[in-house]
Chains A and B, each alone.
Chain A
């Protein structure tokens, strides 16, 4: 079975500053990795995913994440945040080739301060 650890429950950042949201996972097999975003009173939306190939993946709104197999990490970064990035961010993992749903971390609340 796999597990996901998001080390920070809350990250306050000033607008236009860079941010990193940390995610570590554990699994005995190869995995797929995901970041989902949840805006207030909404469902989760896929932000980006790593399936295979390049270890650096990007979203359309400026976020990126890098898969690091040796450190079992998939940290999410953005060089300059905006007020509209305020949301809950969830890291998730699934086993490669499996279809047993995603295992989610507990989420990190990104708070953008003006």
Chain B
């Protein structure tokens, strides 16, 4: 069975450009999480969805960030406009209903904003 799939794996863009990161969770999982990893701040939870509904987006840094989950098999994280301080690795993770805390992570999208 395929794991969590993220794309692109690497993205290099210029400041001011729009960036869209994509995630396909494991089939059957109904919770999806977006995390950001930087050297300075470690792993930060940005937003999570249960049954495609955003539950908590308090971790989203500012209005430039938005996330959607139009169906159970797809989610996007968009940054518009991007800034150099957004450079990080963005991870998507999914989990089962009746959740005990085990998250299954994708391999991440490394974003560099010049």
Contacts and interface: CB of A to CB of B under 8 A. Distances in A.
Contacts of A59: none
Contact of B42 (A42, A101, A105): A105
A104 interface: yes
Given A44-B91, A100-B56, A34 B45 contact: no
Contact of B101 (A102, A106, A107): A102
Interface in A46-80: 46, 49, 51
A14 B50 CA distance: 44
B40 to A, nearest CB: 10
Nearest to B104: A46
A107 B91 contact: no
Interface size class of B (residues with CB under 8 A): 20 to 34
Contacts of A106: 42-43
Interface of B: 4, 31, 33, 42-43, 45, 48, 50, 55-56, 91, 93, 95, 99-108
Interface of A: 32, 34, 36, 41-46, 49, 51, 90, 92, 94, 99-107
Given A36-B105, A44-B103, A101-B33, 12 more contacts: A41-B107, A43-B4, A43-B108, A44-B91, A46-B102, A99-B95, A100-B55, A100-B56, A101-B56, A101-B103, A105-B42, A107-B42
